[in-house]
Amino acid sequence: MNTNQPPTSSTRPPTRSEFEAFYREHYAAVSRFVTRRVALSTHDDVVAATFVVAWRKFSTVTNPSLAWLYRIASYEVSGEYRRQGRQAQVVELNDLNLVGSAPVGDVVDVSRAFSQLSENDAELLRLVYWENLSRNEIAEVLGLSVNAVNVRYHRALERFSGALSRLDVIAGTVEPTNPPTQEN
Amino acid sequence: MNPNTNVEDLLRSLDPLTVEVDQQNAARCDSVWAAIVVNAEPARRRTRRWRVVGASSLVSVGAAVALIVGLLPGTPVMSAAAATLHRAAVADAGAAALSSLGTGQYYYQDAQVTMTCQFAAPTATGTDPWITYVSDGTMRSWTNANGDGKIVITPTPVNEGGSHFATPADEAKWVAEGKPFVPCALIDPSNKLVGNSANSDTTGSLGGYSTSVSGYGGLGVILGFVQNATPVTVNGVPVSLALATDPQSSNVTNLPTDVQQIAAMLANGEISTDGTVSSTPQVCPVDASANAAPGCDTNQQLTLIQQLLQLPEASAKLGSVLYDILAQMPGATVTANTTDSFGNSGSLVSVPLDGSSNNGVFQVLLNPTTGVLLSSTALASPTTPLGATTTSPASAVSYGPIAVVSGIGTLPSVSN
């Protein structure tokens, strides 16, 4: 993950050109983060709202990193959920990458197992496996300590494995082959 | 399922992001940036004006007023436009004030609107001209005492009710592309992704088309409105675009009504384009150059006034105040007995942006007797990508009367 250094000191708002450089550096990552969590029709709005907030707060943080942007984006996503009157995005079957390469029944089962997780568990796993963040970065996004992230990660994985087992997708205990990295 | 499938692969398989969607999102980087620039400004404390402008601010208020006066060319001789605006300000200030709102009540205003949309196919290149479409419709707004509320925009179907493509070439291009979705037009059977397999609905309601919407800038919903809009459906057919309740949509109710006070705040950059206020001078929220000092120049103030006047309640609350400030703008002209595109008749005041009509023109149509603001229109610059002429409105609002209603969605009774 590319951690951006602030182009300005922390005492004055960034100029438009300074913030535009920051925006263009991180647009793709934030766009992907948002796409994975809200309906495509609201993507642009949520991304824009994220950067508007970031612009306003840019001078108040010492290191406006991508993890910081993700944290803002998560608030905007939560706001979008509230506006839509739902807890989390329902992953549509047609959106899954596995369609076409795996039996539809398997995809449905995996999706169903994932949907049984709490939003906290699901979000942590998204950050690990969709955003490919390190534990330190996840800790910054979620406002947790690294140790807390480690504990929650393993518990979330256990719960996902349990849900899969109950759906007979996978029998027995499953261990992750590649846990999140320790360092940035 | 393969029993050796590991959890990690399963979790990654749930990632809904596809390369195609990612590429299409990347193509909208510029349009999203444009929306950010419109909506972003330095952090502003959302405090009530009269609490923060006190004795300690008198020096800055006085300095700002002096700044405005100093900018006036030939101040001792009032132009015809300035005289018209000043008379309108006096008349409007003497008009009955808005009724106070009780608990749960909202100001309701009905307006006719015109806006310009541009859209382009996902495969469009930089040299591929966008399709320009001029959409007419109605706008209903509900605003409570805190500035919260709702705006519902109901455009007409394609090519109905005055809505039209900007030129025959735009319509021909739309037909050639299989009549794809037209942003800011009512969705009906004539406005769907029909006959264009390349536009299968894989990227949301816009079918992957890039959009740019001009108009409603003063409503604080520019560009974002398509994305913000939640279709209101009847029998499954979207009939209007209901903007989510947004406390930043309209903050006019918290603005002062004193001419000198609001003039100073405009000059200090303390008023944002959506009416949000700050207690301290800010870098102007309108077209501020890099490393700009706090405050707005004359043209920036004009743009601010233009956007404030387009706020639903501004014509009633701020009309007289803003007229007086508008009267001080250089290059203003007045044309009596003018009828606008909505059919309103009155005195038309035109103010060129940046002192030249080549940069666009802002117009207000006033009732010369009562001072009531009848409509406001932003004429496109001939150099804008809208492809319009200076006589084509990029956006226009015709204001209806304001009534007090009991809740969002409630319409005034006939007696109102």
Q: How far apart are the first and last CA of chain B?
A: 67
Nearest by CB: A16 against B3, B37, B43: B37
Are B11 and A17 within 8 A, CB to CB?
A: no
Size of interface A-B (CB pairs under 8 A): 147
Per-residue pLDDT averaged across A21-36, rounded?
93
Of A16, A24, A110, the CB nearest to B29: A24
Closest Cα to residue B35, out of B222, B228, B299?
B222
Q: Which band of pLDDT confidence, cut at 50, 70 and 90, is reported for residue B196?
A: very low
Residues of A with Cβ-Cβ distance to B203 under 8 angstroms: 40
C-beta atoms of A161 and B7 within 8 A: yes
Say which residue, B223 or B36, is predicted with more confidence.
B36
pLDDT at A24: 93
Q: Lowest-pLDDT range, B320-329, B335-344, B364-373?
A: B320-329
Kindly indicate the confidence band of residue A11, based on its pLDDT and cuts at 50, 70 and 90: low
In this predicted structure, the answer to whether residue A180 has a pLDDT above a threshold of 60 is no
Query: How far apart are the CA of B410 and the nearest CA of chain A, in angstroms?
Result: 21
Contacts of A101 (CB under 8 A, 6+ apart): none
pLDDT in the model for residue B222: 31
Among candidates B80, B42, B111, which has minimal Cα distance to B272?
B42
Segment A116-135 shows an average pLDDT of 87
Whether the pLDDT of residue B173 is over 80: the answer is: yes
Residue A11 zone, left/alpha/beta (φ > 0; ψ -120 to 50; rest):
alpha
Q: What pLDDT shows up at residue B35?
A: 77
pLDDT given for residue A69 in this prediction: 92
Residue B103 predicted with pLDDT over 70: yes
CA atoms of A127 and A131, how far apart (whole Å):
5
Q: Which DSSP helix (H) or strand (E) runs through A80?
A: helix A66-84
Q: What is the DSSP string of B37-51?
A: HHH--S------HHH
Please state the rounded mean pLDDT for residues B187-192.
43
pLDDT of residue B277: 76
Q: Mean pLDDT over residues B401-415, rounded?
A: 79
The answer to whether the CB of B16 falls within 8 A of the CB of A96 is yes
Residue in this structure with the two tokens 């300690």, named with its chain if needed? B56
Predicted pLDDT at A26: 94
For chain B, percent of residues with pLDDT exceeding 90: 0
Task: Tell me the C-alpha distance between B216 and B116, whole Å.
Answer: 10
Q: Return the pLDDT at B139.
A: 74
Q: What is the mean pLDDT of chain B?
A: 64
Amino acid at A12: R
- Select from B22, B42, B290 the Cβ nearest to the Cβ of A17: B290
Q: Which residues pair with B391 in a beta bridge?
A: none
Query: With contact defined as beta carbons under 8 Å apart, do B195 and B179 qualify?
Result: yes
Contact B7 A157 (CB under 8 A): yes
- Which CATH class, in words, describes the domain spanning A1-87? mainly alpha
| Distance (Å, whole) CA B225 – CA B212 | 10
Q: Determine what percent of chain B is predicted with pLDDT higher than 70.
A: 50
Measured at the CA of B191, the angle between CA B187 and CA B193, to 5 degrees, comes to 110
Average pLDDT, integer, range B359-366? 78
What distances in angstroms separate CA B273 from CA A79, B71, B145, B276, B373, one per listed residue? 23, 22, 19, 7, 19
pLDDT band at B291 (very low <50, low <70, confident <90, very high): low
Length of chain B: 416
- Per-residue pLDDT band for B98 (boundaries 50, 70, 90) equals low
Q: What is the pLDDT of residue B263?
A: 81
**pLDDT value at position A101?**
32
Residue A29 confidence class, pLDDT cut points 50, 70, 90? very high
- CB-based contact, A12 to chain B, within 8 Å: no
Report the gap between the CA of B14 and the closest CA in chain A (Å): 6
Q: With an 8 Å Cβ cutoff, are A110 and B36 in contact?
A: no
| In this structure, CATH architecture of domain A90-184 | Orthogonal Bundle (1.10)
Q: For A56-82, what is the mean pLDDT?
A: 83
Render B227-278 in DSSP notation, one character per residue.
HH-EEEEETTEEEEEEEPP-TTS--GGGS---HHHHHHHHHHT-B-TTS-B-
ipTM score of the complex? 0.77
- By residue count, chain A amounts to 184
Burial label for B9, CB within 10 Å (0-12, 13-18, 19+), is: middle
Residue B183 makes CB contacts below 8 A (sequence gap 6+) with: B117, B119, B133, B206, B209, B211, B213, B226
Amino acid B246: pLDDT: 39
Q: Which residues of B touch A55 (CB under 8 A)?
A: 36, 40
- Most confidently predicted of A43-57, B98-112, B195-209: A43-57
- Measured between beta carbons, the chain A residues lying within 8 angstroms of B36 are 23, 48, 51-52, 55
**Is the pLDDT assigned to residue B283 strictly greater than 80?**
no
Q: Are B40 and A20 within 8 A, CB to CB?
A: no
Dig out the tokens for B39 from the structure: 């909506």
Query: Backbone phi, then psi, for B17, in 5-degree steps?
Result: -75, 130
> What does the alpha-carbon distance between residue A129 and residue A144 come to, in Å, rounded to a whole number?
18
The mean-pLDDT minimum among A50-64, A65-79, B82-96 falls in B82-96
Mean predicted confidence (pLDDT) in B243-253: 45
What confidence score (pLDDT) does residue B76 get?
A: 33
Best of A11, A35, A44 to mutate (most B CBs within 10 Å, chain B): A44
Cα–Cα distance measured from residue B256 to residue B251, given in angstroms and rounded to the nearest whole number: 11
A80 lies within 8 A of chain B by CB = no
* Residue B303 near residue B325 (C-beta atoms within 8 A): no
Residues of A in contact with B283 (CB under 8 A): 13
Domain ranges of chain A: 1-87, 90-184
What are the residue ranges of helices labelled H in B40-183? Answer: 49-52, 58-71, 80-94, 168-176
Q: What is the pLDDT of residues B39-69, one digit of tens each?
A: 764 433 322 221 212 222 222 222 222 222 2
Q: Do A90-184 and A1-87 fall under one CATH topology?
A: no
Least Cα separation, residue A145 to chain B (angstroms): 23
Question: How far lies A75's CA from each of A34, A56, B78, B169, in Å?
Answer: 11, 15, 52, 44
Taking 60 as the threshold, does the pLDDT of residue A103 lie above it? no
B224-249: average pLDDT: 40
User: Chain B contact for A116, CB < 8 A?
Assistant: no
Predicted local confidence at residue B138, as pLDDT: 78
Query: What angle separates helix B259-268 from helix B319-326, to the nearest 10 degrees?
Result: 60
pLDDT in tens, B135-171: 787 777 777 766 666 666 667 777 888 888 888 888 8
**Predicted structure pTM score:** 0.48
The amino acid occupying position B256 is: P
Residue B300's DSSP bridge partners are: none
Tokens describing residue B132: 């320009």
Side chain identity at B294, as an amino acid letter?
P
